[in-house]
């Protein structure tokens, strides 16, 4: 019998990126204007996600908090987090987000991901 020593949560990659509205909540603790930004989520786990958006942001020198309104399968989700890293590839801007999921919302994300897995719309890594 093998023992699972995995310390990281499973990462779910979407076969097709999920479009959603992203909002910059604050930059270095200063509130930002509430304006939706069209973004695409490429993968997600209980602790974070990878997304694309059309903005080049300097996440190395600024603490940027974001809010994301999206529907993975059925239920609308509002997730918040902090941009942890940025990567530019051929004029595409990808970011890693450390999620901060409220206690009362922690069961909704896994439920939505199970439904997507049942429809073969995600790959578990």
79, 92, 115 from 18: Cα distances, Å: 14, 16, 15
Tally the C-alpha atoms within 13 A of residue 93's C-alpha that lie toward its C-beta.
12
Integer Cα distance of 39 and 29 in angstroms: 22
User: pTM value?
Assistant: 0.86
Q: Please report which confidence band the pLDDT of residue 29 belongs to, taking 50, 70 and 90 as the band edges.
A: very high
- What pLDDT was estimated at residue 125? 78
12-124 CATH, one of 3.20.190.10, 3.40.1280.10, 2.40.10.220, 3.40.50.12780 = 2.40.10.220
Q: Which residue has the higher pLDDT, 86 or 120?
A: 86
Integer Cα distance of 17 and 4 in angstroms: 29
Domain boundaries, the chain: 12-124
What tens digit of pLDDT does each residue of 45-94 get? 989 999 999 999 999 999 999 999 999 888 888 999 999 999 998 889 99
Residue 95, strand partner residues: 51, 86
Integer Cα distance of 96 and 64 in angstroms: 11
Residues 83, 96: contact at Cβ < 8 Å? yes
């Amino acid at each position: 019998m093998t023992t699972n020593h995995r310390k990281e949560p499973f990462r779910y990659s979407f076969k097709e990126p999920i479009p959603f509205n992203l909002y910059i909540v604050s930059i270095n603790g200063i509130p930002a204007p509430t304006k939706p930004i069209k973004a695409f989520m490429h993968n997600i786990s209980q602790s974070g996600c990878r997304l694309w958006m059309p903005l080049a942001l300097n996440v190395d020198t600024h603490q940027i908090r974001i809010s994301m309104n999206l529907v993975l399968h059925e239920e609308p989700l509002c997730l918040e987090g902090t941009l942890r890293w940025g990567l530019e590839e051929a004029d595409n801007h990808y970011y890693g987000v450390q999620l901060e999921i409220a206690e009362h919302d922690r069961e909704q994300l896994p439920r939505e991901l199970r439904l997507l897995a049942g429809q073969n719309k995600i790959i578990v890594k």
